[in-house]
C-alpha cells in the first residue's frame, strides 16, 4: 500500500461530505427555484377571481400596464354588466382584463396589455380553448386605433359578439359577451 | 456557451399576452442552464473522485486508463447539456445532474467489483456499462430532439399501449426469449446482445395509461354504485383494470417475474388514482393484486420460495438451500459490515455476494459507503422523483401531468421494490436499481425517462398562460 490508512480515511470522509454537499446544493437551489415562483403566480391569478368573480378583481396580479386611468378604486364602483353603457367601447385605457364568464374555467381572468391576444386551440395561442367547437386559430383580439377589436380568423363555428356572428373585425364594447365555442368572455375595466 | 448568441432571436416566436413575461423569459434560460452546468460539473467531479477512490482503495495507486470511464460519461452528459441549451432551454436544471451522479456512482461500483473479480477490457461489466451509458444518453438526446412537444405522444396512445404489451410478451417468443436465472424476461439474438424489453415497455405503458385515462376518466370517476362512503365503478368501466391485472398476473406466471408485474400494476393504479381521485379504485386494485400474489405464492413454488427467503432468511436450512436466502443474507452482512460510514471505496468485500453489480449494487454501495452513503443515494432518488412530481404538478394539460407523475413514480416504485427487497422490507424480486445497476436495457429506459421529463418541464414552462 502506497497510500496510508489515514489518507484513505480522510478521503473517505471527504467523499461522503462532498456527496452530501451536492445534495444540499440541489436542495438550496430548489428553494429559490423559478418553477415555484411561476406556479404561485398562476395560482394567484386563478384563485382570486374564482372565489369572487366580480366583486374583488385581483388588483394585485394586474400588470402595471398602460392603464394609467384605471386606479383600483374604480373596480368596486364599477357599474354592473347589465346596466353598462353598451356603446362604451373597450380601449387600451379602460379595459384591463379579459374575464371568462362561462365554460369550464369561468371566473378566470386574463390581464390585457397592449399586445394582441390570439385565441384558438393551438398551443401557441395566448388564450388556449380546448373544446370541440374551437378552431386551431379561432379569433384575435387586437388594438386598432387604441380600440380593442375582435376579428374572427375564418373559424368553423364562428365567434359571437353579443349573440351576433362576426363577419368583419368589430370593436368590442366593455362588459359585452364574446362567445367562442362553449366559452364566453368579456372585456372589463 | 454555444447557444447564447442566438438566444434573443429565437425567444419571441409566438405572441404572448404579457410583455413582462416575455422579458422574464429572456433572462431565465441562462440562469437555469448555468445552474445545470454547475451542478453537472460537480457531479462529474464526484464521479471522477469515486473512480479514483476505488483505485486507491483496491489497487493502492491511481490507474489512468480507467479514469477514462468517468471522462467518457462526462463528455456525453455535457453533450446532452449543450443539446438542452439549444432545444429545451427552460428544462428542469436538476434532473440531469442527479441522473449523471447516480450513473457515475454505479459505474464506479461496478468497476470496483470488476477489480475484485480481475476482469478487464470488454469482459468487464464496467466498460460495458459505460458503453451502454453512451448508448442510453444518445437515446435521450434523440428523444429530446425528436419529441419537441410531449402532446405528440397523446396521438399515439393506443399505439404505445400495443407496443408496450408486445414488448412485454416478446421474451415469450420461442427462439428469441432468453431465460436468465429463472426469469424469462430477456431477448437475445445469437449469444450476445441480450436485452430486457420490459424496461422499455414501462415507458410505452405509461404513455398509454396517461392517454387512456385522460380520454376515459369521466366515465371512470363519475358513475357507479355507492357502497358505504365510496363510489365503486361499473363493471364495464372495470374492464381496463381487469385487463391490466390479468396481464401482470400472466407476467408472473409465464415469465416468473414478480417485480415487473408489481411495477406495471402499481404504475397503473397510481395513474388511475391521479386521474380520477377515487380511493375505491386503489383499494380495489390493491386487493386484486394482493389476492393474486397470495394465490401465486401458494401455487407457484418460485413465488413461494421468495416468500420463504424473506420471512425466514436467517434460518440455516433456508440459508443453505439451493436458491435459498444465501444471497440476501450476504447482502445484509455486507450492509452490516459497512456500518455508519462504510468500509471505504475499494476496501470492502462486496464481491462475496452473488451478482453484486446488478441486483445487489445497493448492498455493495452500502458496504463501502455505509449508511451515510446509502442515504445520500436515496436522497438523490427522492430529489429526482420530487422533480418529476413537481413537473406534473405545474403542468397545465392533464396528459402531461399524468405522464410526468407516472414516469417519475415508476422510478420511485422500482427503487422501492429493489432496495426494499435487498434490505428485506419486502420479498426480493429481480428488478434493476435505476441508473446504478449494471444492465443496458434499464439504463436506456431510465435515460429516456429523463429525456421525457426534461422535455415535459420545458413545455410546462413555455406553456400559454391560460388554457381553457
Contact A16 B372 (CB under 8 A): yes
> How many interface pairs between A and B have CB atoms less than 8 angstroms apart?
141
Contact A12 B56 (CB under 8 A): no
In a domain, B181, yes or no: yes
Taking phi first (over 0 means left), then psi (-120 to 50 degrees means alpha), and beta for anything else, what does residue B82 get?
alpha
In a domain, B199, yes or no: yes
First to last CA, chain A: 80
> How far apart, in whole angstroms, are the C-alpha atoms of residue B326 and residue B93?
42
> Nearest C-alpha of chain B: how many angstroms from A120?
10
Nearest CA in chain B to A104: B468
Taking phi first (over 0 means left), then psi (-120 to 50 degrees means alpha), and beta for anything else, what does residue A174 get?
beta
List of chain A residues whose C-beta atoms are within 8 Å of the C-beta of residue B380? 23
Predicted confidence (pLDDT) per residue in B41-92, tens digit? 999 999 988 988 888 888 888 877 666 767 888 898 999 999 998 888 888 8
Question: Number of H helices and number of E strands within chain A?
Answer: 3, 11
Instruction: Choose among B109, B106, B89: nearest CA to B33.
Output: B89
A30 touches chain B (CB under 8 A): yes
**Per-residue model confidence (pLDDT) at position B467:** 60
Across residues A167-186, what is the average pLDDT?
Answer: 88
List of chain B residues whose C-beta atoms are within 8 Å of the C-beta of residue A65? 19
ipTM: 0.82
Nearest CA in chain A to B466: A127
Predicted confidence (pLDDT) per residue in B361-399, tens digit? 999 999 999 999 999 999 999 999 999 998 888 777 788
Which of A57-66, B193-202, B450-459 is least confident?
A57-66
Predicted confidence (pLDDT) per residue in A92-142, tens digit? 778 888 888 887 677 778 778 777 788 888 767 778 887 778 888 899 888
> Sign of torsion, CA B374 B377 B379 B385?
negative
In a domain, B124, yes or no: no
Contact A34 B92 (CB under 8 A): no
What is the count of structural domains for chain B? Answer: 1
Nearest CA in chain B to A103: B468
Contact A15 B53 (CB under 8 A): yes
A37 touches chain B (CB under 8 A): no
> Sign of torsion, CA B365 B369 B375 B381?
negative
Round the average pLDDT of chain B to a whole number and report it.
Answer: 81
In a domain, B371, yes or no: no
CATH number of A115-188: 2.60.200.20
In a domain, B382, yes or no: no
Asked if B103 and B434 count as a contact pair (C-beta separation under 8 A), the reply is: no
**Per-residue model confidence (pLDDT) at position B83:** 93
**Per-residue model confidence (pLDDT) at position A47:** 40
| Boundaries of domain holding B176 | 151-299
pTM > 0.80: no
Contact B149 A63 (CB under 8 A): no
> Nearest C-alpha of chain A: how many angstroms from B230?
26
Predicted confidence (pLDDT) per residue in B35-52, tens digit? 899 999 999 999 988 988
Contact A35 B390 (CB under 8 A): yes
B-proximal residues of A, 51-70, CB under 8 Å: 63, 65
List of chain A residues whose C-beta atoms are within 8 Å of the C-beta of residue B370? 16
C-alpha cell at B375: 442515504
Contact A111 B17 (CB under 8 A): yes
CB-nearest partner of B15 from A18, A26, A126: A126
List of chain A residues whose C-beta atoms are within 8 Å of the C-beta of residue B100? none
A95 touches chain B (CB under 8 A): no
β-bridge mates for residue A102, sequence order = A184
Nearest CA in chain B to A115: B17
> Nearest C-alpha of chain B: how many angstroms from A47?
13
Instruction: Choose among B81, B116, B67, B95: nearest CA to B1.
Output: B81
List of chain A residues whose C-beta atoms are within 8 Å of the C-beta of residue B97? 22, 26
Amino acid at each position: 500500500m502506497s497510500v496510508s490508512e489515514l489518507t484513505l480515511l480522510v478521503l473517505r470522509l471527504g467523499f461522503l461530505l462532498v456527496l452530501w454537499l451536492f445534495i444540499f446544493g440541489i436542495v438550496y437551489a430548489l428553494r429559490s427555484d423559478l418553477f415555484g415562483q411561476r406556479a404561485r403566480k398562476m395560482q394567484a391569478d386563478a384563485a382570486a377571481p374564482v372565489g369572487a368573480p366580480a366583486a374583488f378583481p385581483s388588483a394585485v396580479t394586474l400588470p402595471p400596464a398602460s392603464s394609467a386611468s384605471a386606479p383600483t378604486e374604480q373596480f368596486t364602483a364599477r357599474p354592473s354588466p347589465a346596466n353598462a353603457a353598451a356603446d362604451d367601447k373597450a380601449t387600451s385605457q379602460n379595459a384591463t382584463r379579459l374575464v371568462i364568464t362561462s365554460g369550464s374555467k369561468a371566473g378566470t381572468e386574463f390581464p390585457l396589455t397592449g399586445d394582441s391576444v390570439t385565441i384558438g386551440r393551438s398551443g401557441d395561442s395566448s388564450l388556449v380553448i380546448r373544446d370541440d367547437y374551437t378552431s386551431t386559430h379561432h379569433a384575435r383580439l387586437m388594438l386598432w386605433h387604441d380600440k380593442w377589436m375582435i376579428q374572427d380568423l375564418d373559424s368553423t363555428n364562428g365567434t359571437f359578439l353579443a349573440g351576433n356572428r362576426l363577419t368583419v373585425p368589430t370593436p368590442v364594447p366593455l362588459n359585452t359577451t364574446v362567445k367562442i365555442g362553449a366559452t364566453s368572455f368579456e372585456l372589463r375595466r | 456557451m454555444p447557444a447564447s448568441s442566438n438566444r434573443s432571436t429565437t425567444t419571441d416566436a409566438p405572441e404572448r399576452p404579457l410583455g413582462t413575461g416575455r422579458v422574464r423569459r429572456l433572462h431565465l434560460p441562462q440562469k437555469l442552464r448555468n445552474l445545470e452546468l454547475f451542478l453537472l460539473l460537480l457531479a462529474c467531479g464526484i464521479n471522477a473522485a469515486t473512480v479514483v477512490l476505488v483505485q486507491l482503495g483496491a489497487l493502492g495507486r491511481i490507474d489512468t486508463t480507467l479514469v477514462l470511464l468517468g471522462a467518457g460519461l462526462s463528455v456525453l452528459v455535457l453533450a446532452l447539456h449543450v443539446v438542452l441549451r439549444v432545444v429545451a432551454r427552460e428544462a428542469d436544471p436538476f434532473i440531469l445532474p442527479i441522473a449523471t451522479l447516480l450513473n457515475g456512482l454505479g459505474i464506479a461500483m461496478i468497476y470496483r467489483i470488476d477489480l475484485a473479480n480481475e476482469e478487464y477490457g470488454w469482459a468487464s461489466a464496467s466498460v460495458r456499462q459505460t458503453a451502454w451509458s453512451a448508448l442510453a444518453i444518445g437515446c435521450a438526446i434523440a428523444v429530446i430532439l425528436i419529441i419537441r412537444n410531449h402532446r405528440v405522444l397523446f396521438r399515439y396512445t393506443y399505439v404505445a399501449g400495443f407496443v408496450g404489451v408486445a414488448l412485454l410478451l416478446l421474451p415469450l417468443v420461442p427462439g428469441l426469449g432468453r431465460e436468465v436465472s429463472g426469469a424469462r424476461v430477456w431477448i437475445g439474438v445469437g449469444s450476445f446482445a441480450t436485452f430486457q424489453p420490459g424496461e422499455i415497455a414501462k415507458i410505452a405503458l405509461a404513455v398509454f395509461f396517461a392517454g387512456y385515462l385522460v380520454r376515459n376518466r369521466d366515465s371512470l370517476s363519475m358513475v357507479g354504485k355507492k357502497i358505504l362512503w365510496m363510489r365503486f365503478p361499473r363493471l364495464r368501466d372495470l374492464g381496463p383494470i381487469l385487463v391490466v391485472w390479468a396481464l401482470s398476473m400472466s407476467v408472473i406466471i409465464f415469465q416468473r417475474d414478480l417485480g415487473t408485474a408489481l411495477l406495471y400494476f402499481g404504475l397503473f393504479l397510481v395513474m388511475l388514482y391521479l386521474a380520477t381521485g377515487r380511493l375505491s379504485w386503489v383499494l380495489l386494485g390493491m386487493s386484486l393484486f394482493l389476492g393474486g400474489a397470495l394465490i401465486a405464492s401458494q401455487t407457484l413454488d418460485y413465488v413461494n420460495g421468495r416468500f420463504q427467503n424473506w420471512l425466514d432468511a436467517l434460518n440455516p436450512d433456508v440459508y443453505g438451500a439451493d436458491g435459498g436466502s444465501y444471497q440476501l443474507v450476504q447482502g445484509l452482512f455486507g450492509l452490516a459490515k459497512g456500518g455508519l460510514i462504510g468500509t471505504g471505496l475499494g476496501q470492502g468485500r462486496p464481491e462475496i455476494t452473488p451478482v453484486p453489480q446488478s441486483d445487489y449494487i445497493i448492498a455493495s454501495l452500502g458496504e463501502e459507503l455505509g449508511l451515510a452513503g446509502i442515504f445520500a443515494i436515496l436522497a438523490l432518488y427522492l430529489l429526482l422523483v420530487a422533480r418529476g412530481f413537481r413537473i406534473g404538478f405545474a403542468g397545465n394539460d392533464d396528459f402531461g401531468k399524468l405522464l410526468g407523475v407516472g414516469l417519475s413514480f415508476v422510478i420511485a416504485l422500482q427503487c422501492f421494490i429493489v432496495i426494499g427487497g435487498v434490505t428485506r422490507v419486502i420479498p426480493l424480486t429481480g428488478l434493476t436499481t435505476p441508473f446504478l445497476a449494471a444492465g443496458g436495457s434499464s439504463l436506456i429506459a431510465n435515460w429516456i425517462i429523463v429525456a421525457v421529463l426534461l422535455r415535459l418541464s420545458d413545455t410546462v414552462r413555455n406553456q400559454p398562460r391560460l388554457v381553457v
